[in-house]
Amino acid sequence: MCGIVGYIGDKDVSSVLMSGLWKLEYRGYDSSGIAVIDDGDLKVRKSFGKLMQLQELLQKEPVGGSLGIGHTRWATHGEPSDQNAHPQTDCNGKIAVVHNGIIENYYTLKEELTKKRHIFKSTTDTEVIAHLIEEEFRGDLKEAVLRAVEKLKGSFAIAVISEDQPDRIVAYRKGSPLIIGLGRNENLLASDIPAVIGHTKEVVILEDDEMAVLKKKGVEFYTKNGKRIEKQVQEVPWKPDDMNKGEFPHYMLKEIYEQPEVIRRNISLRIRNKKIDLGEEFNFTPDELARVNRIIIQACGTSWHAGYIGKYLLEDIARVHTEVDISSEFRYRNPVVNGETLVIAISQSGETADTLAGIREAKAKFLKILSIVNVLGSTIARESDGVIYINAGPEIGVASTKAFTAQVFNVYMFTLYLARLKWTIQKEEMLKRLSELKGLPDALERILKRDDVIRGIAERFKDKKHFIFLGRGINYPTALEGALKLKEISYIHATGYPAGELKHGPLALVDENMPVVAIATRSSVYEKMLNNLEEVKSRGGVVISVVTEGDERAKAVSDYTIEVPEVPEYLSPIVNVVPLQLLAYHIAALNGRDVDKPRNLAKSVTVE
């Protein structure tokens, strides 16, 4: 969940490290710090609080040098504080370590090291690594790190520097993401690609139990046994401008507004010559897919909601029995499966710890894995049998928006592809459905033009303490996603329900102080939904409805409405979620919340 960076080269090291940390702040923002080798001495600057505190500290106490490492923290072991901020150092202040992950056996190691008279200054698990390397150091930092990591249990990506070898950064990965950026007379490392964009487009993705030794003139790669290896270099398609907010006050708002273009991009990539193209890394043959008789989708958070929508699509259109599991439950529940079961993993980052563990559990049962991810070359993508990339571009805001709509779009594309293989839809029906997609980007743009209306509704309800979100059928998961967006960025309690469940308990909560946000667009369950809104209104509830343009009946049973263009029902989640994203955004912004960096959360959950 934390973000780590490293740099060696001729540029101002503190500026490069800070630039990288700003781009990784979405991974954690409890505290931050950097360590550099400056005139042969190890110098550390770190601070509790958000990254601006570190920036101000460096203005007061600047450091120089040509290499260094940095860290922005999401606390797991030890409360957020100056003392627990990374980098952590050894007893003599000669070795510094930054770490993303969890050391599961840190307490045992700490006891052993304490008996050897190592003095600990923090309550983090990370400090153990610095002392272990100190214990193992015999003049070669690479060898010391290799010996130290043998004793570590857990998930970690680390970067290490030492006064005694001031010409290198040693990095090691096991379970947590780590990439190496290759430049000219400079090299970088980071937890995620955004931190190196602007310096290089050439990256190497470390696999588990691999090491990199970064020097100014080049990078060497090793196995855990110290054997030198060659690594494939990949080119990143993202541009530096993709990482900027531009004219928007927050990344989240920018990413909401990018959704029409994201869908356009996916249409151009996925539909070629009136046929579906799922990409070069899809890798499944038609015969393999035709034999699939059951699908298990496993994901977390917003990606789980996209998967839940996928269940409706796959069962209704492709006629394949589909289950949807939360990854943290799937990995432990020992499901009954057979060889014709396909497991689909959905993750924006491709590094989500529970989803990755779910993949490994499925592979242990000899099941095929299809992943739907955003980040090129991510761990989940590499460990899957096939990959569908969602082509959303970098998503910086912690609350996912454009990745969700891109995930739903690509699940739909896979559904149509599978349906044709299984002959559950005919060619004419397929062509009709593909043609209908062309109007989707314009429909999203029309919703964005109503942003002022949504902001007006947000102003009226920003002080409410609780919300209920209602949906039916394929838009029940959309209601869940709307509730999640509101709670995670505004800190307002919000719960999503299937509208038909109102009478089974939630209706007791309804009064004039409980806003009910309903997805009431025209659909196969439209009449049922209007009846549910009547139930809310008859009990004094206040209804905010997402309705189809020009629908006077839905307006009549609503206090406030947000109109959306009419689209086919199976595409409606992509359209209906956008006003819910904007409503959540404006309520949070009007309440002064840090929309891009909500408390206690991080963008990529890489620890269990």
* Reduced 3-state DSSP string for 334-345: CCCCCCCEEEEE
Assess whether pLDDT exceeds 60 at residue 607: no
392/353: higher pLDDT: 392
DSSP-derived letter for residue 1 is: -
Residue 527, token pair as written in the block: 């009449």
Q: Are 358 and 298 in contact (CB under 8 A)?
A: yes
Arithmetic mean of pLDDT, 69-86: 82
3-state secondary structure of 589: helix
3-state DSSP helix/strand/coil % of the chain, to nearest 5: 40, 25, 35
Give the pLDDT confidence score for residue 288 in this predicted structure: 93
Virtual CA dihedral for 382, 383, 384, 388, nearest 10 degrees?
-30
Go through the domains of the chain in sequence order and give each one's CATH number. Answer: 3-242 (3.60.20.10), 245-441 (3.40.50.10490), 450-594 (3.40.50.10490)
The confidence score (pLDDT) of residue 194 equals 83
Residue bearing tokens 């559950």: 424
148 token code pair: 């130290």
**Mean pLDDT of the region 537-549:** 94
> Annotated catalytic residue: which of 2, 142, 368, 487?
2
Residue 196 DSSP SS3 = coil
Q: Taken in order 3, 10, 219, 68, is the CA torsion positive or negative?
A: negative
Nearest to 4 by CA among 252, 212, 146: 212
Cβ atoms of 89 and 71 closer than 8 Å: no
pLDDT at 339 over 90: no
* Peptide linkage before 260 cis (omega within 30 of 0): no
Tens-place pLDDT, residues 153-162: 998 999 999 9
Per-residue pLDDT tens over the stretch 478-489: 999 999 999 999
The phi, psi pair for 488, rounded to 5°, reads: -75, -25
197 — pLDDT class (breaks 50, 70, 90)? confident
Asked if residue 602 has pLDDT above 70, the reply is no
pLDDT tens, position by position, 203-230: 999 999 999 999 999 999 999 999 999 9
Query: According to the model, what pLDDT value does residue 192 have?
Result: 87
Mean pLDDT of the chain: 93
**Backbone phi, then psi, for 298, in 5-degree steps?**
-130, 135
How many Cβ atoms are within 10 Å of 402's Cβ, its own excluded? Answer: 27
Instruction: Classify each residue of 311-341 as buried b or exposed e, where b means 16 or more C-beta atoms within 10 Å of its C-beta.
Output: bbbbebbbebebbbbbbbebbeeeeeeeeeb
Q: In Å, what is the CA distance from 277 to each residue of 48, 160, 313? A: 48, 43, 18
Q: How far apart are CA 280 and CA 34, in angstroms?
A: 40
> Per residue, what are the HEC states of 228-271?
EECCCCEECCCCHHHHCCCCCCCHHHHHHHCHHHHHHHHHHHHE
- Residue 91: active-site member: no
Average pLDDT over residues 275-288: 94
Q: Cα(300)–Cα(128) distance, rounded to whole angstroms?
A: 31
Instruction: Give per-residue pLDDT as tens, 426-449.
Output: 999 999 999 999 999 999 999 999
Give the number of other Cβ atoms within 10 Å of residue 432's Cβ: 12
Closest C-alpha to 86, from 133, 42, 44: 44
pLDDT of 96 = 96
Give the strand order in the sheet containing 560-564: 493-498, 466-471, 515-519, 542-548, 560-564
> Cβ-count burial of 227 within 10 angstroms (0-12 exposed, 13-18 middle, 19+ buried)?
exposed
**Average of pLDDT values for 122-148?**
95
List helix spans (H) across 75-227.
106-115, 127-136, 141-149
**Of 448, 462, 545, the residue nearest 499 (C-alpha):** 545
Q: For residue 224, indicate whether it is catalytic.
A: no
Percent of the chain with pLDDT over 70: 98
pLDDT digits (tens, 9 = 90+) for 544-593: 999 999 999 999 999 999 999 999 999 999 999 999 999 999 999 999 99
Residue 504: other Cβ atoms inside 10 A: 10
* pLDDT in the model for residue 608: 53
Point out the catalytic residue in the list 43, 254, 487, 603: 603
